[in-house]
A = this chain, B = another copy of it.
């Protein structure tokens, strides 16, 4: 992997770029942070960093057994689903679920319920036969209402569909959470997420690895990529450490330049859900009201997904000409799995006859380069993470890389990157309104009547 950051700098992006001296000024803090993180890790407080070194035999064994099924259904939300979705989209066939059985081999079709949308739920139940489905319920707490609603409903339906219903559930949960107890009572297979690992940092735990293994993704290779990246990101010198440099540049863009939007733009459709995983990691870790010493800061930049080349025809106009409020990070792929040679047809049509002798790979790479150049010309700071190809090794490396980046950003911003106090209030309200015991409905009023326009069209 390479990080190109020249286009983030004043020398290229002009007044909107970052000054080298501002990076230099961070050198000392980065060294301190590096030392602190290493100490925290050694003392077991950054458990997610060591996940790639855990044995995976149990996961592989259960996955091998599970592969016999026609459908694999993941029930989870947020950190319990984005990692698996990202891995599947990046590393399975782009039309996996539509492949014939013999092309898929032992890999089941893959489905996710990551909402509590009744239309989605009903649509899925039209589509799959439950007695041919393995359901993996992923929830650290065992209390999050959306996955639990999907779980109880699937449990009811599975019980109706087959006597051996218990064999159709694998529960991935906290070491001694309530779902462990339930699984023991019901006879469900159980996998555990280490207690100290938060949902959004759990992709290298059974939360992400078990679905990946069932889908036939080489999880050893994935973990090797993560370990390789770990070795790269240990260097205390910001000039030698791509994760530290990435974090420092984003920090300087946010605090020094006031850029509050951070765009991630891979040039591959296969990486589109990796960006969703990244957005969750970034937004939930860094969007915080208070610093660790309880100062009110309301900090955090907003991650934005953009897919190249598609979004050149959607968001790029705004990136090039809108306010100077963004950094753009490209993910560039050196070798795509396919080239796709383009033919010389429609001679005499200037708009169509120049493709001959080129490949589609060449076109998408050219577009990435042209976009990067245009942005730089418009004074828009941008950087590029380059990966040699899209395989389990690169993706493992990339995800580990972003986990380190976000951890270091948390340190630079002095916020707790591992909690999410801002979502508790809505959750409590939901419990109360749904009548969960112990949560009072209290004085919740639905008073929004005064300012309305429009009427129902009946």
Name the distance in Å between A145's Cβ and chain B's nearest Cβ.
6
Q: Mark A287-322, 1 if CB is under 8 A from B, else 0.
A: 111000000001110101101111011111111111
Interface residues on A, range: 35 or more
How distant is the Cα of A146 from the Cα of B421 in the complex, in angstroms?
44
**CB of A115 within 8 A of chain B?**
yes
How distant is the Cα of A350 from the Cα of B182 in the complex, in angstroms?
12
**CB of A412 within 8 A of chain B?**
no
How distant is the Cα of A314 from the Cα of B99 in the complex, in angstroms?
31
Chain B residue contacts of A456, Cβ below 8 A: 1-2, 334, 388
Chain B residue contacts of A286, Cβ below 8 A: 318
With A94-B124, A313-B79, A456-B388 as contacts: A433 and B321 at CB distance below 8 Å: no
**CB of A370 within 8 A of chain B?**
yes
| Contact between chains at A228 and B121 (CB < 8 Å) | no
Chain B residue contacts of A354, Cβ below 8 A: 431, 434-437
Within 8 A of B (CB), among A383-428: 384, 388, 390, 393, 397, 420-423, 425-427
Q: A123: nearest residue on chain B (CB-CB)? A: B94
Within 8 A of B (CB), among A120-142: 120-124, 126-127, 141-142
Name the distance in Å between A369's Cβ and chain B's nearest Cβ.
7
| Contact between chains at B123 and A426 (CB < 8 Å) | no
Chain B residue contacts of A431, Cβ below 8 A: 354
Chain B residue contacts of A199, Cβ below 8 A: 313
Q: A3: nearest residue on chain B (CB-CB)? A: B453
Name the distance in Å between A13's Cβ and chain B's nearest Cβ.
12
Name the distance in Å between A278's Cβ and chain B's nearest Cβ.
10
With A122-B338, A148-B351 as contacts: A117 and B268 at CB distance below 8 Å: yes
Chain B residue contacts of A370, Cβ below 8 A: 426-427, 429-430, 433
With A142-B352, A284-B314 already in contact, 13 other A-B pairs whose C-beta atoms are closer than 8 Å: A1-B457, A114-B310, A115-B310, A115-B364, A117-B360, A122-B340, A146-B310, A146-B313, A155-B346, A283-B317, A283-B322, A287-B322, A302-B325
